[in-house]
Amino acid sequence: MEPMSESHSEQLLSEVAALPGLPGVYRYFDVQGQLLYVGKARNLKKRVASYFQKNHDGTRIGHMVSRIVRMETTVVRSEAEALLLENNLIKTLNPRFNILFRDDKSYPYLKITGTRETFRTAARIPVPSIAFPRMAYYRGAVDRRHSYYGPYPSAWAVKESITLLQKVFRLRTCEDTVFANRTRPCLLYQIKRCSGPCVDLVDSEAYARDVADAERFLRGETQAVLDALEQRMMGHAEKLEFEQAAEIRNQMSALSRVLHQQAMDTVSDRDVDVLAVKVQGGRACVNLAMIRGGRHLGDRPYFPAHVEDASAIEGALADEEAPQQGEPGERVAKQVLAAFIAQHYLGIAMPHTLVTSHPVGRPLLDALSEQTGAKVNAVHQPREHRRIWLEMAQKNAEIALARLLAEEGSQQARTRALADALQLPDDQLDVLRIECFDISHTAGESTQASCVVFEGHKMQNSQYRRYKIEGITPGDDYAAMRQVLLRRYGKIAEAMKDDGVEEPEAIDPEVPLQNPPATVVSEPDSADVALPEPTVEATSGPRMPDLVLIDGGKGQVSMAREVFEQLGLDLSLIVGVEKGEGRKVGLEELVFADGREKVYLGHDSAALMLVAQIRDEAHRFAITGMRAQRARVRTGGSRLEDIAGVGPKKRARLLQRFGGVRGVASASVEDLCTVDGISADLADAIYRALH
């Protein structure tokens, strides 16, 4: 056996030497306690020792090994169990050198309400809204009382399916509160997209048949649905009920047209996932196409992080029992595919058949089979219709990756252009951090401040924050800006003073810059770009940004200057983007808080495009928060929440019974007592609180 590395502590090397030759998972940490890498092994002792017995100088794996100061291991019973634990830890802990896919399981579903309860356990006559189930777009936790179909790759795919079912089966989509208060049929009935159950234009038995047919269609039993419709049509014809027979004939024609829209609807496969991998330019894309009920529902691209580092490490330490073969690009693609399958399907329901662009190892499939309780197969080099699906997925992966590389190149060019315009160091642009603030309100009502973050050449929406502004004169944007800056940077300034730091942290804490960058401030923009609402996640310890964009002109820059002087922060971090003549886009000028002359970027400047992108995102984020707060105040949504004894369930019953807060407010004490769970004392308290 080769000698262990001399650059690591004796304690670490003794722990490596004492490892058992059993399957398990290992984790490496650096001196700061940051997780570097998570790996699995059939033989822990042999696998882990290989990191420290070989010379990895000058390679990515050598860079990682040189940072290892601590190790943790977990022994498991089998390689399959090790694989599942490894990917669970990767998803949970986000190690630096593993291939990592974003944990996005928020797939939408098509929901049909109440079907499990109404048509399978019908012990009594249900209320009308339950007797006539509705179709709906849905995300979130499932409820056993309802039926869910999917998952679908996008919201568009769900809504397209709902439109399809409306054309064929004419099921309702209206909310229960709307359904309960209709006195005449809506427009959907007029255009033959709904059978009008809200005004008794269809009986519950006929509607139940349509619901059952729709569910069978979603499960892929299309021929059975057509056969049943044909029998019903012939039955009506024999009874000389030609109008009813014509209706069913039209329904069958609509269903037949739907089935011929996609050539793959007639195949035998019901539920299949098609996975294609494309690797190029140090990035990778996995395109997932979903086949559900025999219908192609669309696809969705995924882009993993840490591809180059992880693939180099895993490739260098491939087990001797199963050496990697083929071109380097193909090996990386196999690693990316295996990482995606293990991480994506961990803990969720999955189809039993995968069609893949690259072969998948048997241990991974065995682990998935053990997890799902049924055998999972992966088909490589498929034939017939499966080959068509795979070719489509491969083409879409290629297009998505090309688009990503083009966008990343453009965004990096914009970051570099802004650095050149502000004379910032250009050797650490990959971690350049920009924060931008905006104030939004309606004539002083519901004032909200937003802070958005740009880092790593892209918007970091998980780090966005909203601030509710209170205690100021309504409409005073300067006071609002002062409050949000003090709240955002007050604690950071105190921490810097406690640590004896006089200047803000540089772009990279490990590589301080000679000249700290500046900060940009811009004026409000009317654009409200519809982007996905960011999720709030915990971030690492706060630090001063390298640029601060504050939405406003000279007045806002002056206010920011006062705040930074009060906190003892560097004024060179403040720059404003001021609208030009006529407030026209493209005529903005940079205004500096430290007294430098204004800078005009030019209407076609890449730097201005980046500033405008960040500014507009701050405006969008602020205005959406303000509108939500304003709607909450105007509708009185918080008035019920503030009443003691009225929890979420009782509040939902009240709103459903009376159609909203206004309806609850107009109800008498006697009317309130009729709601389940509302006692006479609580009804009196609600009445007094709302009056």
In a domain, 1, yes or no: no
In a domain, 192, yes or no: yes
CATH number reported for the structural domain that contains residue 463 in this entry: 3.30.420.340
Kindly tell me if the per-residue pLDDT of 528 is higher than 60: no
Number of other residues whose CB lies within 10 A of the CB of residue 120: 7
Residue 523: the pLDDT is: 38
Domain boundary among 250, 266, 282: 266
By the 8 A CB rule, do 282 and 430 touch? no
Kindly tell me if the per-residue pLDDT of 276 is higher than 90: yes
Residue 352: the pLDDT is: 87
Say whether both 531 and 594 belong to one domain.
Answer: yes
Say whether both 251 and 276 belong to one domain.
Answer: no
Question: How does residue 471 score in pLDDT terms, banded at 50, 70 and 90?
Answer: confident
Looking at the chain, the whole-number percentage of residues with pLDDT higher than 90 is 9
In a domain, 33, yes or no: yes
Say whether both 574 and 658 belong to one domain.
Answer: no
Say whether both 142 and 61 belong to one domain.
Answer: no
The more confidently predicted of residues 306 and 279 is 279
Give the distance, in angstroms, between the CA of residue 467 and the centroid of all CA atoms in the same chain.
Answer: 23
Question: How does residue 277 score in pLDDT terms, banded at 50, 70 and 90?
Answer: very high
Within 499-585, residue ranges assigned H as helices are: 554-567
146-175 burial string, b = 16+ CB within 10 Å, else e? bbebbbbbeeebbeebbebbbbbbbbbbbe
Any idea what the Cα angle at residue 455 is, between residues 451 and 458, rounded to 5°?
A: 95
CATH number reported for the structural domain that contains residue 370 in this entry: 3.30.420
Say whether both 243 and 133 belong to one domain.
Answer: yes
Number of other residues whose CB lies within 10 A of the CB of residue 513: 16
Packed helices 362-372 and 79-93: angle between N→C axes, nearest 10 degrees? 80
| Most confidently modeled range among 118-132, 296-310, 450-464 | 450-464
Average per-residue pLDDT in the chain? 78
In a domain, 418, yes or no: no
Say whether both 314 and 460 belong to one domain.
Answer: no
CATH number reported for the structural domain that contains residue 29 in this entry: 3.40.1440.10
CA atoms within 13 A on the CB side of 44: 24
Residue 674: the pLDDT is: 84
Q: In what order do the strands lie in the sheet with 295-302?
A: 295-302, 283-292, 272-280, 353-356, 377-380
In a domain, 208, yes or no: yes
In a domain, 512, yes or no: yes
Any idea what the Cα angle at residue 141 is, between residues 120 and 641, rounded to 5°?
A: 105
- Model pLDDT for residues 194-245, shown as the tens digit of each residue: 989 998 898 888 898 888 888 888 877 777 777 777 877 888 788 787 877 8
Kindly tell me if the per-residue pLDDT of 496 is higher than 80: no
Say whether both 248 and 288 belong to one domain.
Answer: no
Say whether both 318 and 199 belong to one domain.
Answer: no
Within 422-568, residue ranges assigned H as helices are: 477-498, 554-567
Kindly tell me if the per-residue pLDDT of 125 is higher than 50: no
Residue appearing with tokens 């006929």: 206
Kindly tell me if the per-residue pLDDT of 506 is higher than 70: no
Nearest Cα to 484, choosing from 456, 457, 521, 537?
Answer: 521
Number of other residues whose CB lies within 10 A of the CB of residue 539: 11
Domain boundary among 266, 289, 318: 266
In a domain, 409, yes or no: no
Q: Which amino acid is at 151?
A: P
By the 8 A CB rule, do 166 and 159 touch? no
By the 8 A CB rule, do 689 and 664 touch? no
By the 8 A CB rule, do 296 and 262 touch? yes
Residue 395: the pLDDT is: 92
Question: How does residue 429 score in pLDDT terms, banded at 50, 70 and 90?
Answer: confident
Taking residues 415-428, what's their average pLDDT? 82
Give the span between the Cα atoms of 116 and 119, in whole angstroms.
6
- Tokens of residue 101, six digits: 């896919």
Say whether both 427 and 575 belong to one domain.
Answer: yes
By the 8 A CB rule, do 71 and 26 touch? yes
Q: Which amino acid is at 152?
A: Y
- Tokens of residue 335, six digits: 């690693």
Kindly tell me if the per-residue pLDDT of 555 is higher than 90: no
Question: How does residue 83 score in pLDDT terms, banded at 50, 70 and 90?
Answer: confident
Packed helices 554-567 and 477-498: angle between N→C axes, nearest 10 degrees? 30
- Model pLDDT for residues 151-182, shown as the tens digit of each residue: 788 888 888 888 888 888 889 998 888 888 88
| Most confidently modeled range among 477-486, 580-589, 628-637, 664-673 | 477-486
Residue 1: the pLDDT is: 45
Question: How does residue 103 score in pLDDT terms, banded at 50, 70 and 90?
Answer: low
Beta bridge partners of 66: none
Residue appearing with tokens 């021929």: 223
By the 8 A CB rule, do 314 and 294 touch? no
Contact residues for 310 (Cβ-Cβ < 8 A; gap 6+): 97, 98, 99, 100, 335, 339
Kindly tell me if the per-residue pLDDT of 282 is higher than 90: no
CA atoms within 13 A on the CB side of 150: 31
What range defines the domain where residue 368 resides? 272-402
Q: What is the pTM for the complete model shown? A: 0.61
Give kind and range of the element (H or E) at residue 112. strand 109-112
- Tokens of residue 97, six digits: 């050198």
Kindly tell me if the per-residue pLDDT of 96 is higher than 60: yes
Domain boundary among 266, 297, 324: 266
Say whether both 300 and 222 belong to one domain.
Answer: no
In a domain, 501, yes or no: yes
- Model pLDDT for residues 563-583, shown as the tens digit of each residue: 988 888 888 888 887 876 656
DSSP code for 73: E
Any idea what the Cα angle at residue 39 is, between residues 36 and 40, rounded to 5°?
A: 165
Say whether both 148 and 246 belong to one domain.
Answer: yes
How many structural domains does the chain have? 5
Taking residues 319-341, what's their average pLDDT? 73
Say whether both 554 and 503 belong to one domain.
Answer: yes
Contact residues for 48 (Cβ-Cβ < 8 A; gap 6+): 16, 19, 26, 41, 71, 73
